[in-house]
C-alpha cells in the first residue's frame, strides 16, 4: 500500500507561512475559514447518513425505498467517496494498484452492490474523517519545524549610499553593515559593532534566557534583538548563515528514515496485495467446501476483510512518531539529522567525550595567585603589565583580574620562544613564563610547583622568583549533572579523550567520576581510540565533541554529537546530533527522547497488528460487521496517532 509520504521537504522554505496541503484527494488548508471547509463534505455525508438510518429504522417515510433509497445514500456517499475514488484511479494509472484508496473504493462500492448502503457510506465517511484527523496530527507534529522556519528573517536594513535601506537578506554581501531594531530578527550572521546587545535566542537554542554579548562578539541570524538599535557587520552570506543551514538540515531530517519506518513501508507493499488476494479467495473458494454457500454473505465477509487490511495505522503513525521525536528534540535545543539517529541513540552504551568545550567552558580563568615578595595586588600589577604585551589565551585570563588593566607599563618586552616574555617594569627586569624560562635564567623555582597539575605562569623580578599564578579551564555549570544523568540513562561506560595534557585530563575525569581518560591526543589519536572501541563486541559508541578538530571522530562514531553546533559549520556538516545550547546535560535528554520515540513507535505497531489480526479472524468467520472493520482500520489509526502525539506533550524531567 502506498500512502502519501509526509516529508518535511513538503515545507517550502520560501513559502512556509502560506497554506499547506496533502495531495491525497482532500484539501487540507489551515486558515481559519479553509480549515472548516475541509470538513464540509464529511458533515454533509454524516447528516445524510444519520437521516437515512433514522428513516430506515423508524420507517418514517414509506416512499424511502427502492431507487429513492439508493439515490439518497449515493448522494451521501459522493462528497467523501469521489475524492478517494479519484485518487485510487490516479494511482492505478501510475501503475500502483494496491493503495488504500483502491481498497476503500472496492470495499464501499462492493457494499453498495449487495445493498448495504448505510455501511458503504459509513465506511467511506469514517475513513475520510480519519484522514482529516491524520493530517491534523501530522501538521501538529510539523508545528515545531514551522515555528523554526518562522525565525527565518525576510528583510535586512543594510547601509548603502549613506543610508540604511531594506533589502532581501539573500542580496547582502559579506562585510556589509546592517542595522537591527528592537524586536527585529538578526537577518545574517555577523559580529556586533555596537558596544553591547541583548538577544533572545530561544528559537535557535531552546533557551529562554536572554543572551547578552559585547562588541566584536558573534551574532547569529534568527536571534531577536531585545535592547536598543544595534549594528552588525556580516560575516556570512544568507545561504551560509547558521540558521539557514540548520533549517535546511531540519527540513530534510526525514531523508534518513529509521530502519523500522523503512521496514513498515516495504511490508505494507507486500502485505496489502496478499490481503486482496485472500479476500478474493474468501469470496469464491468456500463454494467448493461449504454446502450452503451464499455468494452475497461471503462477498460481505471479503469486503470486511479488505477494509480491515488497510495498514493506515502503521503507515501514518510510525512516521508521525518520529516527527514527534524530532519536534520534541528541537524544542529542547537538540537537532537530530534524521529519524535513523533517534533509533541509533537508543542503542548507545558507551559515551566518549572531548574535554575542552564539551564539559569545560574552553575559557581560561585564574584559579590561584601565590605571591612570595609582594602583596597580591602589587604582584598582579607587574604580571598584568607584561601580559598586556601578549595575545595568548592565558594572557587574556590574567588580564581579566582587573578590567582597566595595570597602572604599570612594561617596556623592552621580547618573547622567548616557547618559554614566555622578558621585559622591564618600573626599572626592574621581569620574566614571565614557564619553568623552563626560570631555570634557563638561573632562577630557583620552589619544588611545590612540580606537583601543580594546572597551567602555571611564573614570574621573577630582578633575578628572584616572585611567585606564580595557576590557570585552569572551568567546568561547565551542568557538567556534574550531565555525567550523573548519562549514567542514570543506563550508559555503562563514559570515557574522556582530550588534546589537553594528560595530567589535567585525568584531574577533570576524576572530578567528574568518568570511568577512564586519556590526554595529550591529536585528532588522529582520538580517532584510533574510538575505532578500537568499535571493534569490541556489542559496543555502540557516541562521541561528543566541539565539532571542529573532532570532526574525524564525529564522522566515525556510531552517533556523532556536536556541542555548541550553532557556531560551528563543521559541526553542522559532520555531526549526527547537534546540541545547540552547548549543555552536556542535553546528551541524556537526547537519549530519553530517542527511547520514548522508539517505545511509542513499537506500541503503535503492536496495537495495529494486534487489533487487525483479531478482527481479520472474526471477519473471515462471519463474526464481524463493517462497523468492527471501521474500528480496526480508522479507529486503530486514530488511537495510534493520539499515542504518537503524546511525544509532543511529554515533559522530560532531569534525572
Pick left, alpha or beta for residue 520 (phi over 0 → left; psi -120 to 50 → alpha; otherwise beta): left
Taking the C-alpha atoms of residue 567 and residue 580, their distance in angstroms, rounded to an integer, is 9
Mean pLDDT (whole number) for 8-12: 33
Residue pair 562/554 in contact by the 8 Å Cβ criterion: yes
Which of 74-78, 312-316, 499-503, 560-564 is predicted with the least confidence, judged by mean pLDDT? Answer: 312-316
pLDDT at 647: 77
pLDDT 10s digits, 416-467: 877 889 999 999 999 999 898 999 999 999 988 888 888 899 999 999 999 9
Residue pair 491/414 in contact by the 8 Å Cβ criterion: no
Cell numbers linked to 402: 582587573
Cβ-proximal residues to 607 (8 Å cutoff; 6+ apart), any chain: 313, 636, 639, 640, 643
Cα separation values, 80 from 123, 243, 480, 626, 643, Å: 10, 42, 58, 17, 26
Taking the C-alpha atoms of residue 131 and residue 108, their distance in angstroms, rounded to an integer, is 16
Residue 451: how many CB atoms within 10 A of its CB? 7
Cell numbers linked to 53: 438510518
pLDDT 10s digits, 387-400: 998 877 788 889 88
Taking the C-alpha atoms of residue 238 and residue 612, their distance in angstroms, rounded to an integer, is 50
Residue pair 219/198 in contact by the 8 Å Cβ criterion: no
Cβ-proximal residues to 591 (8 Å cutoff; 6+ apart), any chain: 345, 346, 348, 486, 489, 491
**Domain layout of the chain by residue ranges:** 8-141+252-328+594-649, 156-240, 329-360+476-593, 361-475
In this structure, which topology does domain 329-360+476-593 adopt according to CATH? Rossmann fold (3.40.50)
Taking the C-alpha atoms of residue 427 and residue 633, their distance in angstroms, rounded to an integer, is 91
pLDDT at 655: 43
In this structure, which topology does domain 361-475 adopt according to CATH? Calcium-transporting ATPase, cytoplasmic domain N (3.40.1110)
Cell numbers linked to 634: 480508522
pLDDT 10s digits, 343-377: 899 999 999 998 888 898 877 788 899 999 889 99
pLDDT level of residue 651 (50, 70, 90 thresholds): low
Residue pair 279/302 in contact by the 8 Å Cβ criterion: yes
pLDDT 10s digits, 597-612: 999 989 988 888 888 8
State the catalytic residue, choosing from 189, 211, 343, 354.
354
Taking the C-alpha atoms of residue 215 and residue 519, their distance in angstroms, rounded to an integer, is 35
- CA angle (577, 490, 647) in 5-degree steps: 55
Mean pLDDT (whole number) for 48-54: 91
H or E element at residue 56 = helix 40-58
pLDDT 10s digits, 94-127: 887 777 788 778 888 888 888 888 888 888 888 7
Q: Is the pLDDT of residue 30 over 50?
A: no
Given the candidates 2.30.40.10, 3.40.50.720, 3.40.30.10, 2.70.150.10, the CATH classification of the domain at 156-240 is 2.70.150.10
- Average of per-residue pLDDT values in the chain: 81
Q: Is the pLDDT of residue 241 over 60?
A: yes
Sign of the dihedral defined by the CA atoms of residues 652, 653, 654, 655, in that order: negative
Look at residue 25 and give its three-state secondary structure.
Answer: coil
Cell numbers linked to 86: 479519484
Cα separation values, 173 from 158, 225, 241, 302, Å: 10, 21, 12, 66
Q: The cell 522530560 sits on which residue?
A: 652
- CA angle (93, 96, 101) in 5-degree steps: 90
Cα separation values, 353 from 450, 484, 582, Å: 28, 14, 13
Which of 241-245, 364-368, 460-464, 592-596 is predicted with the least confidence, judged by mean pLDDT? Answer: 241-245
Taking the C-alpha atoms of residue 395 and residue 405, their distance in angstroms, rounded to an integer, is 12
Q: Is the pLDDT of residue 583 over 80?
A: yes
pLDDT level of residue 500 (50, 70, 90 thresholds): confident
H or E element at residue 166 = strand 163-167
Does the annotation count 404 as an active-site position?
Answer: no
Amino acid at each position: 500500500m502506498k500512502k502519501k509520504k509526509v516529508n518535511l521537504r513538503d515545507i517550502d522554505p520560501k513559502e512556509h507561512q502560506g497554506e499547506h496541503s496533502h495531495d491525497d484527494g482532500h484539501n487540507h488548508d489551515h486558515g481559519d475559514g479553509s480549515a472548516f471547509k475541509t470538513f464540509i463534505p464529511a458533515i454533509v455525508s454524516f447528516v445524510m447518513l444519520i437521516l437515512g438510518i433514522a428513516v430506515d429504522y423508524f420507517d418514517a417515510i414509506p416512499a424511502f425505498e427502492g431507487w429513492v433509497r439508493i439515490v439518497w445514500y449515493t448522494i451521501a456517499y459522493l462528497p467523501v467517496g469521489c475524492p478517494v475514488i479519484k485518487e485510487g484511479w490516479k494511482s492505478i494509472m501510475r501503475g500502483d494498484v494496491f493503495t488504500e484508496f483502491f481498497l476503500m473504493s472496492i470495499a464501499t462500492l462492493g457494499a453498495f452492490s449487495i445493498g448495504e448502503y448505510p455501511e458503504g457510506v459509513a465506511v467511506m465517511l469514517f475513513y475520510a474523517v480519519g484522514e482529516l484527523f491524520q493530517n491534523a496530527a501530522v501538521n501538529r507534529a510539523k508545528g515545531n519545524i514551522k515555528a523554526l522556519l518562522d525565525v527565518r528573517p525576510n528583510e535586512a536594513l543594510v547601509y548603502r549610499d549613506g543610508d540604511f535601506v531594506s533589502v532581501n537578506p539573500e542580496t547582502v554581501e559579506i562585510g556589509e553593515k546592517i542595522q537591527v531594531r528592537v524586536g527585529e530578527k538578526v537577518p545574517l550572521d555577523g559580529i556586533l559593532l555596537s558596544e553591547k546587545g541583548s538577544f533572545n535566542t530561544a528559537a535557535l537554542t531552546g533557551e529562554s534566557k536572554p543572551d547578552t554579548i559585547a562588541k566584536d562578539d558573534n551574532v547569529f541570524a534568527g536571534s531577536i534583538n531585545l535592547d536598543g538599535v544595534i549594528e552588525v557587520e556580516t560575516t556570512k552570506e544568507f545561504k551560509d548563515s547558521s540558521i539557514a543551514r540548520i533549517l535546511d538540515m531540519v527540513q530534510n531530517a526525514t531523508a534518513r528514515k529509521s530502519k523500522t519506518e523503512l521496514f513498515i513501508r516495504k511490508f505494507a507493499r507486500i502485505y496489502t496485495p496478499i490481503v486482496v488476494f485472500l479476500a478474493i479467495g474468501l469470496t469464491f473458494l468456500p463454494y467448493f467446501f461449504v454446502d450452503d454457500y451464499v455468494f452475497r454473505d461471503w462477498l460481505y465477509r471479503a469486503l470486511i476483510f479488505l477494509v480491515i487490511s488497510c495498514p493506515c495505522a502503521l503507515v501514518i503513525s510510525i512516521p508521525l512518531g518520529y516527527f514527534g521525536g524530532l519536534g520534541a528534540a528541537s524544542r529542547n535545543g537538540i537537532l537530530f539529522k534524521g529519524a535513523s539517529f533517534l533509533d541509533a541513540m537508543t542503542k548507545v552504551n558507551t559515551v566518549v567525550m572531548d574535554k575542552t568545550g564539551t564539559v569545560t567552558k574552553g575559557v581560561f580563568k585564574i584559579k590561584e595567585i601565590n605571591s612570595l615578595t609582594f602583596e597580591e595586588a602589587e604582584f598582579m600589577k607587574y604580571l598584568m603589565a607584561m601580559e598586556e604585551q601578549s595575545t595568548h589565551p592565558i594572557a587574556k585570563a590574567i588580564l581579566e583580574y582587573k578590567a582597566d588593566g595595570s597602572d604599570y607599563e612594561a617596556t623592552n618586552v621580547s618573547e622567548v620562544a616557547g618559554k614566555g616574555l622578558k621585559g622591564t617594569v618600573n626599572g626592574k627586569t621581569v620574566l614571565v613564563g614557564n619553568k623552563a624560562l626560570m631555570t634557563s635564567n638561573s632562577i630557583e623555582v620552589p619544588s611545590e610547583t612540580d606537583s601543580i597539575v594546572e597551567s602555571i605562569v611564573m614570574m621573577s623580578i630582578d633575578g628572584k622568583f616572585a611567585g606564580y599564578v595557576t590557570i585552569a579551564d572551568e567546568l561547565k555549570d551542568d557538567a556534574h549533572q550531565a555525567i550523573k544523568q548519562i549514567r542514570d540513562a543506563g550508559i555503562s561506560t563514559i570515557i574522556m579523550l582530550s588534546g589537553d595534557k594528560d595530567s589535567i585530563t585525568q584531574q577533570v575525569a576524576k572530578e567528574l567520576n568518568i570511568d577512564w581518560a586519556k590526554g595529550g591526543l591529536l585528532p588522529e589519536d582520538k580517532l584510533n581510540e574510538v575505532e578500537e572501541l568499535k571493534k569490541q563486541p556489542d559496543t555502540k559508541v557516541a562521541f561528543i565533541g566541539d565539532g571542529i578538530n573532532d570532526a574525524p571522530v564525529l564522522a566515525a562514531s556510531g552517533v556523532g554529537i556536536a556541542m555548541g553546533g550553532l557556531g560551528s559549520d563543521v559541526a553542522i556538516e559532520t555531526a549526527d546530533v547537534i546540541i545547540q545550547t552547548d549543555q552536556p546535560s542535553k546528551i541524556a535528554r537526547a537519549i530519553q527522547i530517542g527511547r520514548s520515540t522508539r517505545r511509542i513507535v513499537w506500541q503503535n505497531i503492536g496495537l495495529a497488528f494486534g487489533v487487525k489480526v483479531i478482527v481479520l479472524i472474526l471477519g473471515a468467520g462471519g463474526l464481524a460487521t463493517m462497523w468492527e472493520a471501521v474500528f480496526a482500520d480508522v479507529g486503530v489509526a486514530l488511537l495510534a496517532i493520539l499515542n504518537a502525539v503524546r511525544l509532543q506533550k511529554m515533559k522530560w524531567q532531569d534525572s
